[in-house]
Amino acid sequence: MPDHHPLDTLFRPPALITVVLAGEALALMLALASGQPGARMLQFGLASLGIQWIAVGTLCTLYLLRRPLSRLPPSVLAWACLGLLLAMTLLVASAAWALLDLGTEPEQGALPFMLRMLGIALVVGLLALLAFQNYSEATRLAVRTKQLELESLRARVRPHFLFNTLNSGVALVRQQPEQAEQLLLGLSDLFRAALANPHDIELAEELALTRRYLEIEAIRFGPRLQTTWDLPEPLPSVKVPALSIQPLVENAVRHGIERLPGGGRIDIAVAVRDNAALVTIRNRVPAGDLDGAARHGHSIGIKATQARLQASTGGRGSLTTSQSGGDYVVEMRLPL
C-alpha cells in the first residue's frame, strides 16, 4: 500500500472545503455572540474575512513547509501545526488592528484584543487536533483491516499453483528428472515472491514470474498449451503488486486450457495508451462455460488482484473483464 503522510489529508478537496465551512460557522457564532445586534452583519463579514485569511495562510504555510514537516513524528507535527496556527492568528490580528482601526473603543486595547484572538485560535486548534487524531486512528484501523483482507485473499490464491506444480513434479521425477528439476526451480522462484511481504515490483519482473509459471505448466500440458506474447520494447517502467498478473494467467490455464480437450492459446499483451500501461490476458473458454467461469472459477483471482491493485495505486488502477466471441479477456490498467 502506498504510504501517505498525515499532512496530505489537509490538501485534499474535502478537507479544504471542510476548513472553509468550519471557518464560516465560527464567524457566524462570533457574530451571534456579539452584544451589538445592529452590527452583527458587519461583524460577521469582518470575522469571516479574518478567519479565512488565518485558515488559508496556515494551510499555505504548511504546504510550503511540508517537506521538513514530514520528517517530524506525528505528535511533534501536531504541536508544530498548532504553533503555526497561533502565529498566523497573531499576524492577521496585528494587521487587522493596524489597518481597520479596531481600537476606537477606549476600553479595548491591543493586548486584550490579541489575547482574545489567540484564545479563540487555541481552542479551535485543540478541537481540530482532537478531530484529526480521531480521523487518523480510524484511517489506520481501516488500512489495517484492508491489509488483513488482502492477505486473506492472497492466501486463497497461493495454493492453486502449489498443488498443480507438485502434482506435475511427482509425475516427472522418475520419467523426466531434468524437467522435474526445472519445474522445482521455477516453483522456488514463484514461492520466493509469493511468501514475501506484500510489495510492488517492476512490471518486467512480474512478467518474468508469469513466464516462469507458464514454463512450469508447459511441462504438464505439453503442446496443449500455446502462449503468445506481445510486449513493447522497452517495457513501460511501472510497478505492480507482486504476483498480481500470474494469478490471472493461472485462471486462464485452470478454467480455459485445462478444460479444453485440445488445449488452447493464452495471449498476453502490454500496450501504452492514455498515460497508462494496459496488460491484456485473453484465453479461450469451453463453449457455454463463459458465464460459469466468470462467476466461479475466475472470481477469487480477479477479486484478490483487483483489491490489491486498487490499494497499490490509490484507486487509480483498474481491472476489468469482458467476453469477446469465445474468449475471456482480462485487462489491467496501470497508471504511469
The one-digit pLDDT tens for each residue of the chain (336 residues) are: 444 566 777 777 887 888 888 888 888 888 887 666 667 788 788 888 888 898 888 889 888 888 888 788 877 888 888 888 899 988 988 888 877 665 544 455 778 878 888 888 888 888 888 877 777 677 667 666 666 665 655 555 456 666 767 777 777 777 777 777 777 777 777 767 666 666 788 999 899 888 888 888 887 788 899 999 999 988 998 988 887 888 888 888 888 888 888 888 999 999 998 889 999 999 988 776 655 544 444 555 677 778 778 877 877 888 998 888 778 899 999 988
- What's the pLDDT score for residue 193? 67
- Domain edges within the chain: 6-100+108-143, 144-335
Find, among 161, 155, 152, 168, the residue nearest to 249 by Cα: 161
- What's the pLDDT score for residue 5? 60
- What's the pLDDT score for residue 332? 92
Extract the C-alpha cell encoding 205. Answer: 519482473
- What's the pLDDT score for residue 159? 60
Separation between Cα atoms, residue 72 and residue 68, nearest integer Å: 7
Domain 144-335: which topology?
Answer: Heat Shock Protein 90 (3.30.565)
Separation between Cα atoms, residue 168 and residue 181, nearest integer Å: 11
Amino acid at 232: P
Q: Element (H or E) spanning 137, and its range? A: helix 110-175
Separation between Cα atoms, residue 228 and residue 33, nearest integer Å: 75
Separation between Cα atoms, residue 206 and residue 26, nearest integer Å: 53
**236 near 274, Cβ under 8 Å?**
no
Q: Which residues of 83-93 are buried (b: 16+ CB within 10 A; e: fewer)?
A: ebbbbbbeebb
Where helices occur in 222-298 by DSSP H, the ranges are 246-255, 290-292
- What's the pLDDT score for residue 217? 83
Separation between Cα atoms, residue 91 and residue 54, nearest integer Å: 9
pTM across the whole model: 0.54
Cβ neighbours around 152 below 10 Å, total? 10
Find, among 48, 44, 46, 45, the residue nearest to 56 by Cα: 48
Separation between Cα atoms, residue 293 and residue 14, nearest integer Å: 40
